[in-house]
Amino acid sequence: MPEGDTIHRAAATLDRAMGGNVVTAFETVFPLLARVDDQTPIAGRTIERVRAAGKNLLFDFSGDLHLRTHMRMNGSWHIYRPGEPWQKRRSDMRIVIATADYVAVAFNVPVAELLDDRALARHDDLRKIGPDLLSDDFDETEAKRRIRARHADEHIANVLLNQRVVAGIGNEYKSEVLFVSRVSPFRRVADVTEAELDLILKNARTLMRMNVGPDSGGSRRTVRSLDKKQLLYVYGRGGDACMTCGTPIEYRKQGDDARGTYWCPKCQE
């Protein structure tokens, strides 16, 4: 599943290219979306904004209509100039939104729905999303409350992945943030101090913001280094030496979903 920074970066790119422009064509393989388009055509509407909400990507159209998509594991949005060859197969296409200058294509996106204002406001997945770490108005107090509430006996790494607790962290950031914060991923939430929790959230926002924006580059980076090969501290580096102490990085599957966790057993005792 894409990390929150990927969704925010995609939304920002799409918004810069297409926000404020009129839809010239709409195409989809989803029958429910096609039915709505037949009844109330999307072509002719203005794309008022493209935005991220946690790991959801939203197109806000004029005339009380919103497209919500969720990438899950394999979905992605691409943007092309009209007539430019696509980088994926036509059979992977799920949605096409065109303006005079750009064509946005959703490939292998498994979740997509068109909602009016009322349905969007009442949408269960969106309404229950935790505070978004990449939002300008991130509510740290509410994030800490949700982390503490009903999760005292859970491992902190698993709780950080719960999008209804705090939105945006995926598997890579989970391992990286806890390493930088020097907190074991297997520490119970009840045993994480307030100072440590403050540091975890601060580091999560800092590391994720490093990878959002047009100048962030194509590869996710958490290591502040001029060495282009040193991108991540622990994620994907099982058995390699810790950059801080030299201890071999360890790897273990964790949680009900058996998500892979990387950590330094010395730095994160």
The catalytic residue positions are: 2-3, 55, 259
Tell the residue number behind the tokens 């509410």, with chain if given: 142
Tokens at 70, concatenated: 């969720």
Task: From residue 101, give the alpha-carbon distance in Å to each of 18, 46, 77, 104, 122.
Answer: 8, 14, 16, 10, 34
Give the separation between CA 44 and CA 18, rounded to whole angstroms. Answer: 13
Contacting residues for 24 by C-beta, under 8 A, at least 6 apart: 43, 98, 99, 100
Task: From residue 39, give the alpha-carbon distance in Å to each of 34, 35, 114, 231, 237.
Answer: 9, 6, 12, 48, 52
Give the separation between CA 26 and CA 19, rounded to whole angstroms. Answer: 15
Give the Cβ contact number of residue 41 at 10 Å. Answer: 12
DSSP 8-class letter at 20? T
CB 183 within 8 A of CB 156: yes
